Amino acid sequence: MSRSPGRKQENHKISRELFVLTYGALVAQLCKDYEKDEDVNACLDRMGYSIGIRLIDDFLARSAVKKCRSYSETADMIAQVAFKIYLGVTPRVSCSSATGNEFSLILDKNPLVDFVEELPAERASLCYCNLLCGVIRGALEMVHLAAEVSFLQDRLKGDAVTEIGITFLRKPEDRKHRRN
pLDDT digits (tens, 9 = 90+) for 132-168: 999 999 999 999 999 999 999 999 998 989 999 999 9
How many domains, the chain? 1
Q: Is residue 148 part of a domain?
A: yes
Q: Is residue 89 part of a domain?
A: yes
Return the minimum-mean-pLDDT range out of 82-96, 127-141, 161-175. 161-175
**How far apart are alpha carbons 169 and 95 in whole angstroms?**
15
Q: Is residue 52 part of a domain?
A: yes
CATH number at residue 111: 3.30.1380.20
Side-chain half-sphere exposure of 169, counting CA atoms within 13 A: 9
Q: Is residue 65 part of a domain?
A: yes
Side-chain half-sphere exposure of 99, counting CA atoms within 13 A: 8
Return the minimum-mean-pLDDT range out of 29-33, 51-55, 96-100, 152-156. 96-100
Q: Which has more confidence, 175 or 150?
A: 150
Return the minimum-mean-pLDDT range out of 11-15, 37-41, 51-55, 162-166. 11-15
Q: Is residue 159 part of a domain?
A: yes
- Full-model pTM: 0.86
Q: Is residue 150 part of a domain?
A: yes
Q: Is residue 24 part of a domain?
A: no
**How far apart are alpha carbons 126 and 76 in whole angstroms?**
28
Q: Is residue 32 part of a domain?
A: no
Three-state secondary structure readout of 103-133: EEEEECCCHHHCCCCCCCHHHCCCCCCHHHH
pLDDT at 121: 86
Question: Is a pLDDT exceeding 60 seen at residue 74?
Answer: yes
Angle, alpha carbons 134-157-107 (nearest 5°) = 55
Tell me which residue range forms the domain holding 80: 37-117+126-168
